[in-house]
Amino acid sequence: MLYYRDSFNYYVNLGIVRRLRAHLLRTELGIKLSRTIFGETEQDLRRHAELIREDIGSYVDMQNMLNRNTDGPDNPLSQVFSKPSAQQMFRQFRNVRTEVMFWNPNWLPVIGKLLPHRIEEQLASRWGWHLWIYAQKHHLEFTRPREIPCPEHLDHRQSVNSCRGTRQLKMAGDRVNDSMTMLSRPRVELVARSQPTKLGRKEPYTDKVRKEPPALSKAL
C-alpha cells in the first residue's frame, strides 16, 4: 500500500484545508475549535501549534504538510505516488494492477460525516488516499546445462583444446559434487555389544549405530 498523490487528501485537504487550519492553530481558541472540527487530539494540535510558531513558512511547505499531517506532527518523511510511478516500481512483476481506496470523513469538515455511505465509496474509489498494488512474481527455473558451449571466435585447434578443457573441468566438478553427496550421507555401522538376559547372563548382539558425516571443513 502506498499513499496516492492524485487524491482528495493530497490536493484539497493538505494543500488547502490544513494550510488554512495552520493560521487557526495560532490561537488558543483556534486549537479548541480545530479539535471539534477535525477530531484530532489536543496533544497533536498543540504540537502543530508549536511548529507553526517556530516557522509558519516552513510548516505550510507542501512536503512538510505531507510529513506532519500524515503520521503525526513529528513524522520525519512521507511520500506519495501516482499510478504510473507505482507501476514503474513493480515493472519486474507481471499482471500489475492498482486500486484506490480509503476515505476519511474528516477531510470535509462539518459535511464529511453527513455523506451517505454510497457516496463515500465512490469518493474512495476515485479520490481515495491509499493506493494498493497487486502483482505476481515471475517464476524463474534454474537448470544446469548438459554441455558447456565452445567459444565460436577461436580457430579449430584452440576450439578443440578449449572444449576439452572445459569438459574436463565439468567432469571434475561433477566428481566433487558426488563426493560431497557421499560425505553428507550418514553411515550405519554394526557394533558388537553384550546385552544382559533375564537370567543375568550377557549375550552378544549387534546394534546399528548411526554416525553423522564429519564436518564439511574437515572433509575438505
Encode pLDDT of 94-130 as tens digits. Answer: 999 999 999 998 888 778 888 899 999 999 999 999 9
Q: Is residue 19 part of a domain?
A: yes
Looking at the domain assignment, is residue 194 inside a domain? no
Query: In whole numbers, what is the pLDDT of the chain averaged over residues?
Result: 77
Whether 161 is in a domain gets the answer no
Is residue 209 a part of any domain in this protein? Answer: no
Quote the pTM value: 0.59
Domain annotation covers residue 152: no
**How many domains is the chain partitioned into structurally?**
1
DSSP state of 26: T
- Long-range (24+ apart) CB contacts under 8 A made by 213-217 are 213/183, 213/184, 213/185, 213/186, 213/187, 214/183, 216/180, 216/183
Q: What is the pLDDT of residue 208?
A: 46
pLDDT higher than threshold 50 for residue 217: no
pLDDT of residue 125: 93
Angstrom distance (rounded) from CA 128 to CA 97 = 16
Asked, for residue 47, whether it belongs to a domain, the answer is yes
Q: Does residue 140 form part of some domain? A: no
Tens of pLDDT, residues 17-61: 999 999 999 999 999 999 988 888 999 999 999 999 999 999 999
In a domain, 7, yes or no: yes
Which single residue is written with the C-alpha cell 550418514? 186
Q: Which of 154, 191, 147 is CA-nearest to residue 171?
A: 147
Note down the domain range covering 73.
2-81+103-129
**Distance separating the N- and C-terminal Cα atoms of the chain:** 49
pLDDT of residue 37: 86
